[in-house]
Amino acid sequence: MEVRLHGRGGQGGVTCAKILAATWSHLGMSVQAFGDYSGERSGAPVRAYLRVDSSPVVNRNKVYAPDHVLVLDHALCDAAAVLGLRPGGTLIVNTMEDPGALAERFPGYRTATVDATGIAREHGIGSRSVVIVNTTIAGAFARIMGLPFEALEAAFTAMHVERDLPAARAAWDAVRVHEAQGAPRAAPASAAAAPILDLVDHVVGAAPALRTGAWRSTRPVYQTRPAPCSTACPAGNDVVGFTRALATDGPEAASEILARTSPFASVCGRVCAGYCGHACNREAMDEAVNTRGIERWIGDHATIARADQPQTGRRAAVIGAGPAGISAAYQLARAGWRVDLLDAADRPGGLLRSGIPPWRLPREVLDREVDAVLAMGVHWQGGRRVGPAELPALAGEYDAVILATGQSKVMDLDVPGRELNGIEQGLEFLHDANLGLATQISGHVVVIGGGNTAMDCARSALRRGAAQVTVVYRRTRAEMPAIPEEVEEAEEEGVQFRFLRAPLGVYGSDLVGGVELAVMESNPNGGAPTMSEGRDWIACDSVILAIGQRADPATLLPEGWTIRHGQVHALETPLPVFATGDLATGEGTVAHAIGDGARIALQARAWFDECKPAGPRPKGVVRHSEMRFSYFDAIPRLPARKRPAAERVAHSTEVDLGIEDGREADRCMSCGHCTHCDTCLVYCPEGIILRAGDGYGVDLSQCKGCGVCARECPRASIQMVAE
Amino acid sequence: MSHEPLLDGMVGTKRDRTEPLLRAGNTNCGGCGMSVILQLLGRAAADHPLQLVIPACCGIVTAGPFPCSAYGAPVMAATFASAAAAATGLSWVAQLNDEKTRVCCFAGDGGTFDIGFATLSATAERNEDVLYICYDNEIYGNTGGQRSSATPLGASTTTTPTGKTVRKKDVLGIIAAHGVPYVATISLAHPEDAMRKLRYALNARGFRFLHVLAPCPTGWKSEPGDGIELVRLAVRSGLYPVYEVFDGDRAVVNVQSAQDDEALSRYFSLQGRFRRSQVDISSVRAEISRTWRRIAAWT
Amino acid sequence: MSVQLLTANHAAAMAAASAGRANRTARGFGSGVYPITPQTECIEYLSGLEIERGKVVLVESEHSAMAVCMGFSLGGARSFTASSSNGLAYMAENVYAASAYRLPIVMMAVNRTLGPPWNIWVDHGDTLMLRDMGWVQVYCEDNQEVHDMLLAAFRLGEDPRVLLPVMVCQDAFVLSHTLMSTDVAEQPAVDAFLPPLQLPHRLDTRARTVGGLDFPHEAEVHRRQLHETMGRLPLVWKEVQAAFVETFGRTLPDPVVGYRLEDADVAIVCMGTTAATARVVVDQLRAEGINAGSLRVVMMRPFPGEALREALAHVAKVAVVDRDLSPGIGGILWTELCGTTGHPMAQGYIVGIGGGDVRPEHLARVVADLRGRSTAGQPLIVEVA
């Protein structure tokens, strides 16, 4: 019996022949196994031969008329593979293909198939790119030849490959056979060989005709993958997009990208917690890119150009002109809707205006961006408080109504002494302070709470005359929900902190005299702290409560109306009324509000079949471990410039002056986004990556699938996928 | 600034070679480091006339069967030990005929550190107008991975199954000691530096020697895609100093090495050839320090 | 013409230099050389001669010497080197490569016994070791012939129908260091005799690999092509002989040269300077009434089997005198003569290996032995004390 094996260098075809020889030898047969030796390398087609006989094998020629053919790589299963195969002989192939399908291509032979590559890969035999299938397919072949598995076991042991027996066993179990039908096709006539040139002939050497693409088991695929900054942005900004655009094309191009998702670059670049920067992969290398600073710089330096959109004829009313409402109005206006923006206040902005102090968000900055939205045809109707009585009419009047009234109900403190004079709600304090109403405060002010409102209150109190300000928070500093930068700034300005303290009561007679605090114990598991026996007191002159707020849909929705997944239902009937921002989500940040406003605009438009609703967050975010930091020089982060503490407190001027210029954008590594850096082009060992269109193309007829391009891509935008 | 685009964006522009020096359809293993240096060499040479002299090694098998040629330049296949001598002849013909042809030996470590060493030394001593590039995969790759004098301490080969117990020959130092105009090591992980050196060496006259650590996935038992990263780790760990020496007396270190142990362990862990090694990492570190002390004395 | 008193080494160097100069209008001349006794004088002279558009590279070994010549030759230059004995053994790998690449390099080989043990004197074992390497081999008899043969070797090897390297062999000391009158070719005559070298497959700027891979069929065909070229060579040699006599007025020997063979009953067949001694012995034997003749094999490759068969057809007994020994079989000339002529009585003798001074009495002893035999037997080693 003669067998011919077709494999590739590195797959172990010759060893496979030797293992099979050892198997038959164990059964007392005379055997012979050998390979073709040539100049070709890992991946190149290689043949091996096996002879088995009950009498001594004497023929030492290669096998030209095999009884069986074993193909280790399905790409090699062609007419050449079956050349000379005796009618009725077995053709066994490593493939996922069905043996019946194989039989159709190769009639007249008994066909057998097994996915040896899959099995070998599962058993971890070989490397990622070069899976070694010889031992696996040997199991299938032994089964087809009717050999006992014990003989195979003996051969594996003799050849020191017993570790691969489970894979051989799996292939033994998995192999499928299709009996021979019909007659084999005639072999194609071989072309007459070209005459061989003399060495003294001057021949210009042509490139070898070898198609090395057939060696490959994985191939490179260029893909744009989500960058962590962009996926982290609650507003849905294409952070990597605008940052790169600033670096390569300047602020206008960057602004154009920002404008797709947000009307509030200058605002958000000042008041956002900077989720993008916290997610930045560069943090693992030197320091995160100051993407918030970049956003602000773009917002402050680009002109706001809003192209007129073709009108759809649809009209919407947006109730509530905070960030969520304006974001929704903005997106609808961009989509060609006519939008009326209704709010109880006399200027749009919501908490941006009433809750955030001007020294964090100068009013001219806010007005510039708000006015730009109004300039798009968003019709401002200030002083309009909408309640349950008005809403049904509005819902009938407009194609859609967007509710964005935020969290209107502030949390209160239920402790003895709450009724004393000198206790004030933080948001009210800020409202008055921000709008320039009389809010002089003096003496020692205690602010209760750990969020941004608490920080704003504490710092506003300093600016409004307080001699001393102490923030009391029931957890640790690290657990404060406030933006750490704001906490640091507060500290610089002289605000004091007492952590792990919860108010038990306020003492004093008529006027506040001080607060009694319980000493809290941190919960090591991260849960709520527990109250200890310890007590603490702070003598003070006033108390500001900044312990949170919540939505209060009852002040807005008629009886029987509920919000489900952002849409308002009257009992079971969905209405063209949508809720967004803090009213719906309670996330409580400007960025979340902008993102949710845009999302709800999309949802409203989807209700009218204008578009699809927003999809889920993209998967496959580039992790820092996938980045090639070695391609990037360490450059210090460009920090925001700050006014000195004393100056900013004294004059209530803007604290943060932003970054000096836009060159911080050059630090962006463009995670998952090809920048045409040519690394793949330069490193392709075959030189078969070419410029194509806006990116690169790979000549797959030659690509050997080595994976250097993917491994070296500085920004993980090439992936190797199995063939 | 980040390093982009690589090589100043020359690839595919007029400054690039019209035809690649190493053509597709060659039989090199996927991820072969020798292929990468050939791509860089082609770019550095651009369209200047180049003649390659390649001894018996993987690099000549690369050319493919007669009458094909996977090289986009004229190539003389020399016998194993003869590359530098054969190149001497070709180089003189070019000089005698006032031709601008640059003659370049392209040889593996076997043909350079071992069998071709005497010839190499003599050619350097005569200061022939030859550029000699050694692509060093640290084994006899063409014969299936036996140790050469370029095999590093600790590496398993088919003839040193438990790891080589003696150090690698410092061929660069020896050639530099001939006082030739230029010798340099080339890191594939630093393409700009590599390109600068290739260009400098192509333009300089007299004997120039470039040593390239060329990852061999087959012999090093590593992932084909990991080659460049391995070179990077070799540089970072201090195993492979990136430097150049002018006229045998002025050395310049081109890439500062952190010489860090983490890079060294990672370099070892990514390669099967160090898995069975009985050489511990501290002796490799001592060897690295010795190398750097020698370079420091030179600079 | 200028007749000078020269050693054969010196004559060889002058021939090589003038051949080199003759290619100054083409791609020049180059030589890689390395000293070895008794060839050293040749390269010393060569290094001292002015050669326009020429370069002599002083290398570190014979192996490199031939590699340098291959570089020169493949670059299109005329190329020459000289070596001997162990140097040839060390060079052997590249000797093979030079012919495989079809490079018309000319080498002057001084025949010296291979060591160790060390022996610097003449025998032919060194160059005969290289007889299967695809080179043309000629063996000279005197200084003039060394000089002339070298000039002819360039013309022969560089002929576009040939393109093979040529080894011009001469006996150590007997010729190499022996001063004799030599008619040295004038440069204009050499220029006329040697056309500029046009190597069709020279390495230029076009992409190609010379000496890459040959799969079995290609290898077979390329070897056959080389063999067939050897077959064409005697015809080209006739043309070279004619051109030589026309240019220089001197003749070049045929591949085999007979002496008083016409009516000979016995003949001595040999190579190199032994042939001159053989002629002396023939004359002595003739004087004694013995119908002796002799035959010099000038060209060892291609082997002149047909010419030998014809020349010896009527000679009853042939003494093949080898100055070499292939242990286990005997003389190489003898085995090849037997194999190609099928002569019924060719007896092998080995005389003067290791540099023994082969005198007429040694050859007379050979003839006496041969005449006493009725059939040929095992080769006989005649000791030369």
Q: Is B1 on the interface with A (CB under 8 A)?
A: yes
In degrees, to the nearest 5, what angle opens at C-alpha A557 toward C-alphas A555 and A559?
105
Residues of B within 8 A of C214 (CB-CB) are 65-66
Q: Is A633 on the interface with B (CB under 8 A)?
A: yes
Would residue C367 be called left, alpha or beta, if left means φ above 0 and alpha means ψ between -120 and 50 degrees? alpha
Which pLDDT value is given to residue A685? Answer: 97
Tell me how crowded residue A700 is: count the other CB atoms within 10 A of its CB: 14
Over residues A667-688, mean pLDDT: 95
A687/B223 CB distance under 8 A: no
Same domain membership, residue A499 and residue A463: yes
Residue-level pLDDT at A60: 92
Work out the mean pLDDT of chain A and round it to a whole number. 92
- State how many domains chain A has: 5
Neighbours of chain C (3+ CB pairs under 8 A): A, B
Tokens of A349: 């902005």
Q: Could you read off the pLDDT of B267-288 as tens digits, one per residue?
A: 999 999 998 887 788 889 999 9
Q: Lowest mean pLDDT of A90-94, A358-362, B65-69, name the range.
A: B65-69
The answer to whether residues C332 and C131 touch, using CB atoms and an 8 Å cutoff, is yes
Is residue C145 located within the same domain as residue C181? yes
Q: Do A200 and C208 touch (CB under 8 A)?
A: no
CB-based burial of residue C143 (10 Å sphere; 0-12 exposed, 13-18 middle, 19+ buried)? buried
Residues of A with CB under 8 A from a CB of C: 38-39, 193, 196, 198-205
For residues A159 and A21, membership in a common domain is answered with: yes
Asked whether residue A210 is domain-assigned, the answer is: no
Give the pLDDT score at A44.
73
- Interchain contact, A199 vs C222, CB within 8 Å: yes
What chain A residue is nearest to B58 in terms of C-alpha separation? A39
A39 pLDDT higher than 80: no
Q: Does B46 touch chain C (CB under 8 A)?
A: no
Residue C128 domain flag: yes
- In chain A, the residue whose alpha carbon lies closest to the alpha carbon of B195 is A682
In order of A305, A373, A603, A606, the CA distances from A254 in angstroms are 12, 18, 26, 28
| pLDDT score at A355 | 92
Q: Find which of A41, A197, A199, A201 to mutate to test the C interface (most C CBs within 10 Å of its CB).
A: A199
Say whether both A21 and A110 belong to one domain: yes
Task: Return the half-sphere exposure (C-beta side, CA atoms, 13 A cut-off) of residue C56.
Answer: 23
Burial class (CB in 10 A: 0-12, 13-18, 19+), A692: exposed
Would you put residue C378 in left (φ > 0), alpha (ψ -120 to 50) or beta?
beta
Whether residue A104 lies inside any domain: the answer is yes
Q: Do B229 and A711 touch (CB under 8 A)?
A: yes
Residue at A261 is within a domain: yes
A475-490 pLDDT, tens digit each: 999 999 999 989 999 9
Distance of CA A511 to the CA centre of its chain: 54
- Classify residue A201: in a domain, yes or no: no
Contacts of C141 (CB under 8 A, 6+ apart): C253, C272, C273, C275, C276, C296
Query: pLDDT band for position A494 (50/70/90)?
Result: very high
> Distance (Å) from the C-alpha of residue A698 to the closest C-alpha of chain B?
12
Q: Give residue-wise pLDDT tens across range C67-76.
A: 999 999 999 9
Q: Do C211 and B77 touch (CB under 8 A)?
A: yes
pLDDT at A652: 84
CATH code for the domain of C362: 3.40.50.920
How far B190 CA lies from chain A's nearest CA (Å)? 9
In a domain, C310, yes or no: yes
Query: What DSSP state is assigned to residue A388?
Result: T
Quick: pLDDT tens for C17-75. 999 999 999 999 999 999 999 999 999 999 999 999 999 999 999 999 999 999 999 99
Asked if pLDDT for residue B3 goes beyond 60, the answer is no
> Which residue's structure tokens are 């080199």?
C20
Long-range contacts of A467-470 (CB under 8 A, 24+ apart): A467/A442, A467/A443, A468/A443, A468/A444, A468/A494, A468/A496, A469/A444, A469/A445, A469/A494, A469/A495, A469/A496, A470/A444, A470/A445, A470/A446, A470/A495, A470/A496, A470/A497, A470/A498, A470/A538, A470/A540
| A543/A561 same-domain check | no
Q: What is the mean pLDDT of residues A168-188?
A: 89
Verify whether the Cβ–Cβ distance A208 to B64 is below 8 Å.
yes
Smallest CA–CA distance, residue A53 to chain C, in Å, is 29
Write out chain C residues lying below 8 Å of A193, CB-based.
Answer: 217
Instruction: Please state the length of chain A.
Output: 723
Q: Do C208 and A39 touch (CB under 8 A)?
A: no
Q: Maximum Cα–Cα distance for chain B, whole Å?
A: 55
CB contact (8 A) between residue B77 and residue C76: no
Residue A7 resides in a domain: yes
Average pLDDT over residues C192-211: 95
Distance CA C167, CA B73 (A): 32
| Residue B275, token pair as written in the block | 């898995």
Q: Do C241 and C280 fall within a single domain?
A: no
Range of the domain at A219: 215-225+672-722
How far is Cα B102 from Cα B84, in angstroms, rounded to an integer? 13
Contact check, Cβ <8 Å, C212/B75 = yes
Same-domain status, C301 and C162: no
- Taking alpha carbons only, the member of C330, C327, C297, C357 closest to residue C122 is C357
Q: Check residue A200 and give its pLDDT.
A: 83
Token pair of B166, please? 């003696």
Q: Check whether residue C190 and residue C118 sit in a common domain.
A: yes
d(CA A251, CA A247): 8
Enumerate the H helices of chain B as residue ranges: 33-45, 58-61, 83-96, 109, 117-125, 171-176, 191-203, 217-220, 227-237, 261-269, 281-298
> Is A568 in contact with A558 (CB distance < 8 Å)?
no
For residues C116 and C243, membership in a common domain is answered with yes
Q: Are residues A427 and A502 in the same domain?
A: yes
Long-range contacts, stretch C370-374, CB < 8 angstroms, 24+ apart? C370/C266, C370/C317, C370/C318, C370/C319, C371/C266, C371/C290, C371/C317, C373/C317, C373/C345, C373/C347
CB of A195 within 8 Å of any CB in chain B?
no
Q: What is the pLDDT of residue B20?
A: 93
- Chain B 15-34, CB below 8 Å of chain A: which residues? 20, 22-33
Residues C293 and C310 in one domain: yes
Give the residue-averaged pLDDT of C157-172: 97
Nearest chain C residue (CA) to B50: C205
B53 burial (CB, 10 Å; 0-12 / 13-18 / 19+) is: buried
Q: Is the peptide bond before C344 cis (omega within 30 degrees of 0)?
A: no
Query: Does C200 fall in a domain?
Result: no
From the list A44, A635, A705, the residue facing B27 with the nearest CB is A44
Q: From CA B39, how far away is CA B43, in angstroms rounded?
A: 6
Residue B255 in this model has a pLDDT that exceeds 70: yes
Per the structure, how many domains does chain C have? 2
Which residues does residue C385 pair with via DSSP β-bridges, in sequence order?
A: none
In this predicted structure, the answer to whether residue B17 has a pLDDT above a threshold of 70 is: yes
Assess A712–B contact: CB distance below 8 Å, yes or no.
yes
The Cα C295–Cα C276 span in angstroms is: 10
Same domain, A440 and A483: yes
* A250 Rama sector, left if φ>0, alpha if ψ -120 to 50, beta otherwise: left
Task: Express each pLDDT in A204-221 by its tens digit.
Answer: 888 888 889 988 888 999
Interface test with B, best of C209, C214, C215, C222 (most B CBs within 10 A): C209
Amino acid at B226: D
User: Is the residue at A618 inside a domain?
Assistant: no
Interfacial C residues in 189-228 facing B (CB < 8 Å): 203-215, 218, 222
Of residues A585 and A600, more confidence is placed in A600
Q: How far is it, in rounded angstroms, from Cα A140 to Cα A93?
A: 10
Asked whether residue A620 is assigned to any structural domain, the reply reads: no
Q: Do B96 and C63 touch (CB under 8 A)?
A: no
CB A72 within 8 A of CB A126: no
Examine residue C221 and state whether it is found in any structural domain, yes or no. yes
Give, in order, the Cα–Cα distances in Å from B14 to each of B19, B47, C88: 11, 10, 49
- Per-residue pLDDT tens over the stretch A406-421: 988 889 989 999 999 9
Residues 97-136 of C with CB under 8 A from B: 97
End-to-end CA distance of chain A: 34
Rounded Cα gap, residues C72 and A164, in angstroms: 55
Nearest-CA distance B119 → chain C (Å)? 7
Residue in A153, A151, A171, A150 with CA at minimum distance from that of residue A163:
A153
Contact between B88 and B142 (Cβ < 8 Å): no
User: Does A718 reach chain B within 8 Å, measured CB to CB?
Assistant: no
Reported confidence tier of residue A187, pLDDT bands at 50, 70, 90: confident
CA distance C112 to C85: 5
Q: B67 preceded by cis ω (within 30°)?
A: yes
Quick one: pLDDT band at residue B41, thresholds 50, 70, 90?
Answer: very high
Question: What pLDDT, on the 0 to 100 scale, is given for residue A114?
Answer: 96
* Per-residue model confidence as pLDDT tens digits over A262-299: 999 999 999 999 999 999 999 999 999 999 999 999 99
A683–B191: do the CB atoms touch at under 8 Å?
yes
Please tell me whether residues A391 and A265 are part of one structural domain: no
- Residue A398 and residue A317 in contact, taking contact as beta carbons nearer than 8 Å: yes
Confidence grade of residue B1 (pLDDT, cut at 50, 70, 90):
very low
User: Would you call A681 and B6 a contact, using CB atoms and an 8 Å cutoff?
Assistant: yes
Distances (CA, A) of A692 to A134, A695, B15: 38, 5, 18
B47 touching C, CB under 8 A? no
Pairing of strands A315-319, A338-342: parallel
In a domain, A700, yes or no: yes
In chain A, what residues touch B272 (CB-CB under 8 Å)?
none
Q: What is the pLDDT of residue A362?
A: 96
The CATH number linked to C20 is 3.40.50.970
Listed in sequence order, the residues at least 6 apart from A91 whose beta carbon sits closer than 8 Å to its beta carbon are A68, A69, A71, A77, A81, A82, A85, A102, A106, A109, A110, A111, A112
Chain A residue nearest residue B59, CA to CA = A39
Whether C236 and C274 map to the same domain: the answer is: no
Q: What is the pLDDT of residue A592?
A: 95
CA C35-C38-C42 angle, 5° bins: 60
Quick one: A174 and A238 in the same domain? no
CATH number assigned to the domain comprising residue A457: 3.50.50.60
Which of A409-413, B19-23, B179-183, C222-226 has the lowest average pLDDT?
A409-413
Least confident among A551-555, A676-680, C109-113: A551-555
Identify the pLDDT of residue A40: 58
The answer to whether residues B70 and B64 touch, using CB atoms and an 8 Å cutoff, is yes
Answer for the pair C261, C267: CB distance below 8 angstroms, yes or no.
yes
Mean pLDDT within A131-147: 93
**Which has the minimum average pLDDT: A228-237, A552-561, B178-187?**
A552-561
3 state DSSP class of A642: strand
Q: Which helix (H) or strand (E) holds A561?
A: strand A561-564
B149–chain A Cβ distance below 8 A for any pair: no
- Ranking A413-422, B116-125, B187-196, C369-378 by mean pLDDT, the lowest is A413-422
Q: By percentage, how much of chain C surpasses pLDDT 90?
A: 98
Is A10's Cβ below 8 Å from some Cβ in B?
A: yes
Q: Are residues A502 and A470 in the same domain?
A: yes
Assess whether C26 and C83 both reside in one domain.
Answer: yes
Full domain range(s) for residue C355: 256-382
Cβ distance of C217 and A198 shorter than 8 Å: no
Share of chain A above pLDDT 90, in %: 76
What's residue C208's pLDDT? Answer: 93
Contact between A317 and A401 under an 8 Å Cβ cutoff? The reply is: yes
End-to-end alpha carbon distance in chain B:
28
| Residue A160 and residue A103 share a domain | yes
The domain ranges of chain B are 6-298
Question: Is 70 exceeded by the pLDDT of residue A42?
Answer: no
Peptide bond before residue C38 is cis, with ω within 30 degrees of 0: yes
CATH 3.40.50.970 fits B6-298, yes or no: yes
Nearest to B74 among C93, C205, C215 (CB): C205
For residue C115, the tally of other CB atoms under 10 A from its CB is 12
Same domain for A659 and A570? no
Are A571 and A531 contained in the same domain? no
